[in-house]
């Protein structure tokens, strides 16, 4: 054993163990959800991968002798030259570093970001293979140890302090854990509250991750690596609103912008643990804690409902339809009106024990 268990009795994890067994069985069958250069605008959906670039998508040509694309062509060559030097010297730079080498030439950070994504797509390699790293904003805590590429030994504790998600996920090795599940928490405030409530210790062995809202590349890569290494159930805890659902979909199915790298980023085995729109009525959450959907919320919800992967998630669709019908949303913090520690001591333990995920 890598860690001394201090959590619930073994019987508590029966539903989780059954769920993991079904995930492993699906993996052995080689299909279904649990399995893991052109433009990045044309995407298709595959159940076992998520959103990915269509094989026969529209292509965009950039010519050196065209007045319209001459500058963009020159910028691509400049960044390719910088990438070549990084690879040759075995050094790394962030997109921000590249932008500041000549901020006047590039104009803004978005230009650099788009060109780097285009190069990654064109060469069909992950961004890290170009020696372009990303700044991590995510955090991780719980029953986990690993060694980083430079030999640094990381021990993620179950206490009140989390560890920053590393900037080189590909370099992580010797992952050690007894975790029964991985919980992705949408917001940093909720993540910190769970740590303060000693959730990791009481539900040990487990791992918690947060991308602090919309996840950065490294947080998504880490979740993917943990899934591929451990094959334990992965759950999301997000607000019962269109924005929270969108974030959950990014982890599970990916995004259009990064569809060319879907195989490295998506975890279709992810399940929605909470907060479910149906929980609002079931738990009698006070109406004065709910928030009316804005016009922007309704547009986002309509957009998600039309996405191809929703057709294979009837329970997700039902939850979103409940939200659309009542025209209300709720933050996870609404549970504190039931009791200050309801989330960590009642809601999540019951969901995990009795299989309350979809």
The residues that are catalytic are 100
Report how far residue 17's alpha carbon sits from residue 10's, in angstroms, rounded to the nearest whole number. Answer: 10
Report how far residue 103's alpha carbon sits from residue 337's, in angstroms, rounded to the nearest whole number. Answer: 49
Going by C-alpha positions, the residue among 231, 227, 332, 224 that lies closest to residue 277 is 332
With beta carbons less than 8 A apart as the criterion, state whether 148 and 112 touch.
no
Q: What angle do CA 34, 37, 41 make, to 5 degrees?
A: 70
Residues 6+ apart with CB under 8 A from 47: 31, 32, 33, 268, 309, 312
Say if strands 132-133 and 93-94 run parallel, antiparallel, or are unpaired.
parallel
Q: Which residue has the tokens 């924005």?
A: 243
With beta carbons less than 8 A apart as the criterion, state whether 302 and 321 touch.
no
Q: Is 94 helix (H, G, I), strand (E, B) or coil?
A: strand
193 HSE (CA, 13 A, CB side): 18
Is 189 exposed, middle or buried (CB count within 10 Å of its CB: 0-12, 13-18, 19+)?
middle
What's the longest Cα–Cα distance across the chain? 70
């Amino acid at each position: 054993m890598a860690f001394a268990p201090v959590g619930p009795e073994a019987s508590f994890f029966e539903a989780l163990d059954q769920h993991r067994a079904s995930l492993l069985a699906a993996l052995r069958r080689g299909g279904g959800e649990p399995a893991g250069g052109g433009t990045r605008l044309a995407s298709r959906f595959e159940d076992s991968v998520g959103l990915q670039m269509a094989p026969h998508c529209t292509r965009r040509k950039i010519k050196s002798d065209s007045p319209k694309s001459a500058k963009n062509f020159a910028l691509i060559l400049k960044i390719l030259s910088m990438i070549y030097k990084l690879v040759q010297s075995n050094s790394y730079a962030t997109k921000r570093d590249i932008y500041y080498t000549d901020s006047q030439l590039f104009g803004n950070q978005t230009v650099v970001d788009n060109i780097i994504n285009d190069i990654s797509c064109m060469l069909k390699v992950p961004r890290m293979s170009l020696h372009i790293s990303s700044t991590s904003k995510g955090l991780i805590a719980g029953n986990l140890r690993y060694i980083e590429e430079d030999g640094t030994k990381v021990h993620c504790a179950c206490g009140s302090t989390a560890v920053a998600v590393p900037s080189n996920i590909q370099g992580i090795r010797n992952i050690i854990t007894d975790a029964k599940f991985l919980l992705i928490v949408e917001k940093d405030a909720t993540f910190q509250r769970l740590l303060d409530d000693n959730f990791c210790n009481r539900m040990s062995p487990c791992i918690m991750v947060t991308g602090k809202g919309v996840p950065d590349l490294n947080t998504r890569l880490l979740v993917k690596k943990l899934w591929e290494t451990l094959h334990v159930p992965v759950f999301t805890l997000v607000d019962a609103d269109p924005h929270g659902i969108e974030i959950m979909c990014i982890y599970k199915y990916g995004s259009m912008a990064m569809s060319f790298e879907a195989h490295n980023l998506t975890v279709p085995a992810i399940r929605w643990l909470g907060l479910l729109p149906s929980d609002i009525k079931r738990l009698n959450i006070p109406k004065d804690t709910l928030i009316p959907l804005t016009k922007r919320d309704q547009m986002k919800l309509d957009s998600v409902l039309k996405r191809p992967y929703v057709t294979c998630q009837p329970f997700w669709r039902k939850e979103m339809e409940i939200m659309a019908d009542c025209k209300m949303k709720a933050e996870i913090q609404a549970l504190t009106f039931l009791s200050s520690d309801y989330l960590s001591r009642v809601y999540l333990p019951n969901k995990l024990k009795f299989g309350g995920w979809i």
